[in-house]
Structure 1
Amino acid sequence: MGRFSFLEWPVVRQLRTSDTTARSSATVSEHTRQITSRNATADHVVSSVCPYCAVGCGQKVYVKDNKVIQIEGDPDSPISRGRLCPKGAASEQLVNAPGRQYHVLYRAPKAKDWQRLELSKAMDMVADRFIETRRRTWQDADDQGRKLNRTMGIASLGGATLDNEENYLIKKLFTAAGAIQIENQARI
């Protein structure tokens, strides 16, 4: 920082310039003039959608050196018009949090510790349990012989962070599997 000068006081600058209302250049210090947005150094910008709720606010994700450095509302989004709620505005922390897990973790029944699994093994475990539960709890007909073709052993609670298309496909999948207990968090 340079040597202090009384001529650089905002009031003196206001009187020396035509900025009599102090709403323009008279109130801007040299330090403020040198400040740039952290977005100005981004390598590229990616358009995205906020992951937190079913509203689908548009986001601009600023990336530098393959790392997210800032997330802001997308002014071109017809849904949010550049605005984000506090959670959406803080979604950069979701991406860059030091405690973020990058691996599938599994804790066996009654086990104390989590163990790391490969994604393919975890998906196979879920599929096997889904199929076994459907087979074990399948109901062809009720006591009076009326057709049911359902399972009460499987239920689905969709998340509001999924978009409409994903929730639609999940609903179709669970209905095709015979589940009738299908709900979505956005409705609850």
Structure 2
Amino acid sequence: MKTWLDAWPVYRQLTGSDPLGRGKAARSKATENVVSRTATADRVVQSVCPYCAVGCGQRVFVKDEKIVQIEGDPDSPISRGRLCPKGSASKQLVTSPTRETKVRYRRPYGTQWEDLDLDTAMEMIADRVLDARRKGWQDEVDGKRVNRTMGIASLGGATLDNEENYLMKKLYTAMGAIQVENQARI
């Protein structure tokens, strides 16, 4: 016959077969009913942590097209399943209710911010890049052909991995920019 003492973990630990309290003595009904988020995921997507240039592997667990958990990827030769505190908290980067999902814009000489849809903001950026390239373009300098623009520059950050930095360098060079630098090298 079970008594109220049987529900008390310390009593189960002292009287049962688990004197160290590492197994059955420490488990409750609530513990038995807990299912991990990774076990209920529909799929697992391999990814790379976005925080620094180390490139730690991540496993992103997705259920109903929503991220439910992000963990280190044990198959990654770089991190072998480990993540730093920032990498471990990267789920918050994409699921936080405080994450900005709209583009905020303040017009020149404006005093108020306004929300823009992403397509409008991307068009504005493209127009400005083309305008800056056109206005700063140089065909020749001191009689030497240079085909460059001084109207565009890039300063990359340490959160970019090697592949992203490579693509940025290719993009800016293709646009004619020669001022391409990275914060990690400075």
2:143 is aligned, of 145, 152, 159, to 145
8 Å Cα contact 2:13/2:26 also seen in 1: no
1:48 aligns with 2:33: no
TM-score, normalised with respect to structure 2 = 0.80
Contact 2:138-2:148 at 8 Å conserved across structures: yes
Q: CA deviation at 1:47?
A: 1.9
Tell me which amino acid in the other structure corresponds to 1:5.
L
Aligned-CA RMSD value: 2.8
Which whole-Å CA distance do the structure 2 matches of 1:130 and 1:9 have between them?
66
Contact 2:12/2:25, CA 8 A, preserved across alignment:
no
Matched, 1:94 2:117: no
* 2:172 is equivalent to residue 174 of structure 1: yes
Change (3 A) 1:24 1:148: same
Aligned residue pairs total 184
Q: Which amino acid aligns with 1:86?
A: P
User: 1:83: how far off?
Assistant: 0.8
Structure 1 residue 154, shift from structure 2 partner = 0.9
Aligned to 2:154: 156
Distance 1:172 1:29 in 2: 56
Could you tell me how far 1:86 is from its partner in structure 2? 1.0
* Residues 4-13 or 164-173, more deviating: 4-13
Q: TM-score, structure 1 length as denominator?
A: 0.79
Unaligned runs of 5+ in 1: none
1:1-188 alignment, distance < 5 Å: 4-5=4-5, 10=10, 13=13, 16-17=16-17, 22=20, 24-25=22-23, 27-31=25-29, 33-34=31-32, 35-142=34-141, 144-188=142-186
- CA shift, 1:4, in A, is 2.9
**Structure 2 unmatched runs, 5+:** none
* Separation in structure 2 between the aligned mates of residue 101 and residue 25 of structure 1, nearest angstrom: 44
Partner Cα separation in structure 1 for residue 104 and residue 160 of structure 2: 22
Residues 10 and 26, structure 1, Cα contact 8 Å, conserved in 2 = no
- 2:90 partner amino acid: S
Kindly provide the CA deviation profile for residues 37-63 of structure 1, in whole angstroms up to 9, marking residues without a partner as x. Answer: 333333332222112122211111222
| Identity %, equivalent residues | 58
* Alignment-mate amino acid for residue 148 of structure 2: R
Q: Deviations over 1:111-133 (max 9, x none)?
A: 22222333333222222211221
| Paired amino acid for 1:88 | G
